[in-house]
Amino acid sequence: MKKKVVLTKNYLEEVIERLKREFELIVVEDTGKNLHEALEENQDAEALISFLSDNIAKESIDICKNLKIIANYAVGYNNIDYKHAIEKGIYVTNTPDILTAATADLTMALILSVSRRIVEADEFVRRGSFKGWQAKLMLGKELNGSTIGIIGMGRIGLALAFRAKAFGMNVIYYSRTRKQEIERKYGFKFVRFIELIRESDVVSIHIPYSNDVHHLFNKDVFDLMKKDAIFINVSRGALMDEKCLAQELEKNELFGAGLDVYEFEPEVTEKLKKLKNVVLAPHIGSATYKTRLAMAMMTYNDVVLALSGKKPKYLIPECKL
Ligand code: GLV
Ligand code: GLV
């Protein structure tokens, strides 16, 4: 008999086909039930493939007595009560590395879009306002020679640092642990958090979300930033006080912001939608076909390993099973 796997939402068909060949696959989205109900009906499921938008709480984890693995289709896994899962001996995996370049590219795209006012410029042309070259039309902020402050020098932070350097930016960073090797090799300079906030022309955040860093960017921090600085968040929305950010942008206390994530995703603060100095993307950091396919294959491979009694390859660091 085929083992049962629950996938919360549809993802790439190639991988769904593979899952179906190997397992009895339940796609929650197609059942018309919510996750809890679907798990109640499939208590014999041995694997759960989840999305970052699924809240995998203790209560859900406890429903399936035979659950061996929760494979999160994302690098971030703050949506899972992973401590509880690990305590119960359930493997928890994510999709690191593979999405680093795509996410760093999207970050750079947001930085460029905000600094050169690309979205505003596109709108300007479409509504027929372009009447010829003008000396002061759409003046933006120059990246060359400016300073980018990267919060979190993990894989994505480092990939962004390389891109920023290629644009002539001076790179400083703050990280919980100092990365001497990176400093020696590339000259990216470690600074204190407050120093980074005060000195950077672009501040970009690349750390995982946890309660400890809830609203890391609050009014006090935004107020320390330069008045013509750009704030970028492609990590998790709750790392910032979104309402406060909207107020700062409205009062031109910042040059602008680029967001791919939101505090109450998929809700977006109404005020942000009305502002010209913010570029809004719908959580598409890893959204290239190549990356999303590779991520889906990682979840598939790890489910196959776990359900054949082997250790999955992409266990989250906290999972030492
Ligand atoms: C995207 O936000 C991810 O965590 O993969
Ligand atoms: C996540 O933050 C990563 O570095 O891949």
Maximal C-alpha separation, the chain: 72
Q: Are residues 109 and 86 in the same domain?
A: no
Q: Which tens digit of pLDDT belongs to each residue from 7-29?
A: 999 999 999 999 999 999 999 99
Q: Are residues 73 and 204 in the same domain?
A: no
For the chain, the straight-line distance linking the first and the last C-alpha, in angstroms and rounded, comes to 27
What residue owns the CA closest to ligand 1's atom 5?
Answer: 74
Q: Are residues 139 and 272 in the same domain?
A: yes
Q: How far, CA to CA in Å, does 199 sit from each of 169, 193, 194, 195?
A: 13, 10, 9, 6
Q: Are residues 215 and 275 in the same domain?
A: yes
**Is 18 a known active-site residue?**
no
What domain count does the chain have?
2
pLDDT at 156 (0 to 100): 98
User: Average pLDDT for residues 86-90, to the nearest whole number?
Assistant: 97
Q: Flag whether pLDDT at 94 surpasses 90.
A: yes
- Type of residue numbered 100: T
Q: How far does residue 2's CA lie from ligand 2's centre (Å)?
A: 34
Q: How far does residue 154's CA lie from ligand 2's centre (Å)?
A: 5
Q: How would you class 289 by CB atoms within 10 Å of its CB: exposed for 0-12, middle for 13-18, buried for 19 or more? A: exposed
User: Average pLDDT for residues 298-318, to the nearest whole number?
Assistant: 98
pLDDT at 154 (0 to 100): 97
Q: Are residues 56 and 168 in the same domain?
A: no
pTM over 0.85: yes
pLDDT at 300 (0 to 100): 98
Answer whether 197's CB lies under 8 Å from 225's CB.
yes
Closest ligand to C-alpha of residue 150 is 2
Q: Which domain holds residue 13?
A: 4-98+289-320
Instruction: For the chain, give the percent of residues with pLDDT over 70.
Output: 100
Q: Are residues 107 and 69 in the same domain?
A: no
**Is 36 a known active-site residue?**
no
Q: Are residues 80 and 153 in the same domain?
A: no
Q: Flag whether pLDDT at 286 surpasses 90.
A: yes
Q: Are residues 144 and 218 in the same domain?
A: yes
**In sequence order, what are the beta bridge partners of 6?**
26, 48
Q: Flag whether pLDDT at 321 surpasses 90.
A: no
Single out the catalytic residue among 117, 163, 206, 283.
Answer: 283
Q: What is the CATH number of the domain that holds 78?
A: 3.40.50.720
Q: Are residues 20 and 55 in the same domain?
A: yes
The phi and psi torsions of 135 (rounded to 5 degrees) equal -60, -35
Q: Flag whether pLDDT at 225 surpasses 90.
A: yes
Find where tokens 């696959």 sit. Answer: 25
Quick one: CA torsion of 231, 234, 237, 240, rounded to 10 degrees? -30
Q: Are residues 87 and 215 in the same domain?
A: no
Q: Are residues 165 and 191 in the same domain?
A: yes
**Is 236 a known active-site residue?**
yes
Q: Are residues 117 and 156 in the same domain?
A: yes
Q: Which tens digit of pLDDT belongs to each residue from 96-132?
A: 999 999 999 999 999 999 999 999 999 999 999 999 9
